[in-house]
Every structure is written in structure tokens, then in C-alpha cells.
Amino acid sequence: MSLADPGFPNDLTRRIVHVDMDAFFASVEQRDRPELRGRPIAVGHADRRGVVATASYEARPFGVRSAMPSTRAMQLCPQLIFVEGRMSRYKEVSAEIREIFSRYTDLVEPLSIDEAFLDVTDNKLGIEYGTEVARRIKADIRRELNLTASAGVSYNKFLAKIASDWRKPDGLFTVHPDRAQDFIDALPIEAFWGVGPATAKRFHEMGVTCGWELRLKSFTELTDRFGAAGALFYKFARGIDSRPVRPFRERKSVGCEETFSEDVRGYAELERRLAAIAADLAGRMSRHDFRGRTLTLKIRFADFRTLSRSVTAPGSFGDERGIFAAAKKLLGAVEIPQGGVRLLGLSVSAREAPRAAPEATLF
């Protein structure tokens, strides 16, 4: 089946690179501290309430992964070394990586502190092939920063991102347009962008386990089942992704959360903690000149079950008092289990346009 589709634009001449730093936080720590090189390390807190932020590649064969409770990580790898994170340091290194990207193109869209998309179709050095641009970027990062990155190259963001995971660590993989459909057909459904465990389960219930089986589903069937995401899945199964690389992304939400050193039981104490989080959130929103109409409460229980509750207001959330009042109502509607709560978080989304400054007058 041809990758061309009359219903959707699909420019096969684009050259998109996705660069993903390998075990970024852990790699920076091993680079800066030679005694940690070659040893299994985890960036995070070692106490029983801690969570692994990043695990080095020496720790991963033991099953240690990001977001894993620290106690579980130590059980899997007793020789694991925990290192406290240094976010300010990681931001410094991220800025150095970004400077390397800028030598090749100004069309850089950061996804997080350690990964980004680059549109190198018309790059600054006039290099014809995206694979060669990716190879040079990887070499610059290794030579100048003593770190490794993996890169994926293709004609759209969907395929470039998947390709960057294909040969980690220190990998480089290109999905050419003439081989893209075979590549997509063989992908497990879990590899598709936007497919987490819950969505994968729904696909399995439909008899969809790979890209080829996904491509057999009609546009109507997918959108009826998954809504707007179904339209994306329909396109991705055909190698279609017309989203541009956007150098500047508008902030869509502001949030903060707190993991408690001890499980918190009882609404009175939870409300006290929630008030502090609301104050922190209001401060962050003020610094970012952000107001939004939807407030979301995140709760993680002692058994690691996580739920969220949201409310959308006719006006907007911006001040501490309004945030806390709405958050308290959301919390009051949640039944707290006997084990208590280990984490509370708040975020505001559905951004309201920043208020324009009043016009100056002459009189």
C-alpha cells in the first residue's frame, strides 16, 4: 500500500531528526564523578519513599527503571548506588546540547530537558542527508560533552521518535520513505506514539497487536473508539504525520506536587498540605503570567494507585485562594483508603490568553 493518502498531506522530502540523550541524568553524574563510571547508579532518593528518576545502563539489566520505587530498585540490584539529582546542573548541560543543535538548524523543538526534534531539511551547513546531520550532532556531543545520544531520522516526527529508540544506547537509525510501511507494519502496538498500557489493552481487545493489524481498522472505527486520538492512530499506521517542528511551544499547563516522607491520613492534614501546594502553584503561575480554567488534583495512594480529579470554571484560576477552595472540594469528594496518601499535586490548564497591558494615554 502506498504511503500517499489523498486525505492527508504527507511530505516525504522532509528530513526530521529526533535526538534523545542516553540515561541523561545518570550519564552526567558518571561523567562528572569518575568513580561512578561503569557502576550501576540511580539518580533519586534512596529512602523508602524515594523514586528512581533515571537509571544508568549498568543498572538496567537488573530491571531497574525510571519511576520505580527506590526500595524495589535496591531489591533488584543490591549494589545500586543512589545519587541525589542536580537539576541546575542538568539544565546547564541541556543548554550546551541545545547550542550544538543550533549550529545545524534553528528549527528545534524541545520535548524535555534531554530530547528534541530538529527539522534539518534546509540546514545551515547544506548537508543533503538527515542521517549525516544526525551523525555529526552525535559526534559533537560525544567530543565536546563526553556524553552519548541516540538519534532517529525520517520524514516525520512520529517515525523519527520511534527510530531514536531502535538502537539505544548511542544509536542511529533511519526510516527511509520506501521502507517505512514495512517498518510500521511490524511495530508492536505499544510502540506507537500515544499508546500506553491502558490504550494497548483496548487495542488488544480489538485484536490489534501490531501496525499491520492497526492499518486494517477503518478511520470511522478508530475515531469511534478513541476519538481524536483515533484519527492520529489511523495516520500513524500509514506513515502520515504532517505536524511541523515548532521551535517555540506555548506553555499549556503549570503544576506542582509533593511526595510526603510519611503517608498522610485524614482530611485535615491533607488539606493543610494542599494549602501549601496551592500557594506554591499560585506563585509559579504568577511568575509565568499564566491563568487557566481547568484545575486538576492528582492523588497517589500508599499502594501507588494514582487518580486525578478536575474541575473547569467559567472564569479562570490564578490566585491562591481560588485554587485552594476548588482543590479542597475535589479532595473532599475522594475516599481516602486506610493506607493514606503518599503524593498530592495540583495543576492548572486550559490557558486563558494573557491580559493585555492598558493602553497609555496622553492626558
Q: Is the pLDDT of residue 46 over 90?
A: no
CA distances 210 to 182, 215, 353, Å, are 11, 9, 41
Class of the CATH-defined domain 1-22+87-248:
alpha beta
CA atoms of 247 and 130, how far apart (whole Å): 18
Active site residue 128: no
**pLDDT tens column, 7-42:** 455 678 899 999 999 999 999 999 999 999 999 999
Q: Name the CATH superfamily, with its identifier, for domain 254-351.
A: DNA polymerase, Y-family, little finger domain (3.30.1490.100)
Task: Give the tens place of pLDDT for each residue, 168-196.
Answer: 999 999 999 999 999 999 999 999 988 98
Give me the pLDDT at residue 10, please: 65
- The distance from CA 141 to its chain's CA centroid, rounded to whole angstroms, is 22
Average pLDDT (104-110) is 94
Q: Residue 103: count other Cβ atoms within 10 Å of its Cβ.
A: 12
Q: Which residue has the higher pLDDT, 160 or 291?
A: 160
pLDDT digits (tens, 9 = 90+) for 303-335: 888 899 999 988 888 788 899 999 999 999 999
DSSP 3-state assignment of 172? strand
- Convert the pLDDT of each residue in 201-213 to its tens digit: 999 999 999 999 9
**CA 20 to centroid of chain Cα atoms:** 11
CATH number belonging to the domain at 24-86, selected among 1.10.20.10, 3.30.2140.20, 3.30.230.70, 3.40.1170.60: 3.40.1170.60
Residue written as cell 542538568?
A: 90
Query: Rounded to an integer, what distance in angstroms lies between the CA atom of residue 323 and that of residue 327?
Result: 6
Domain ranges of the chain: 1-22+87-248, 24-86, 254-351
pLDDT in tens, 281-293: 998 888 778 889 9
Residue by residue, DSSP assigns 233-295 as HHHHTTT---PPP-SS-----EEEEEEEEEEE-SHHHHHHHHHHHHHHHHHHHHHTT--EEEE
Cα–Cα separations (whole angstroms), residue 316 to 270, 285, 295, 319, 321:
24, 12, 9, 9, 12
* Selected catalytic residue, list 84, 115, 320, 335: 115
In whole angstroms, give the CA distance from residue 119 to residue 270: 46
pLDDT at 53: 92
Could you tell me if 55 and 66 are in contact, meaning their C-beta atoms sit under 8 angstroms apart?
A: yes
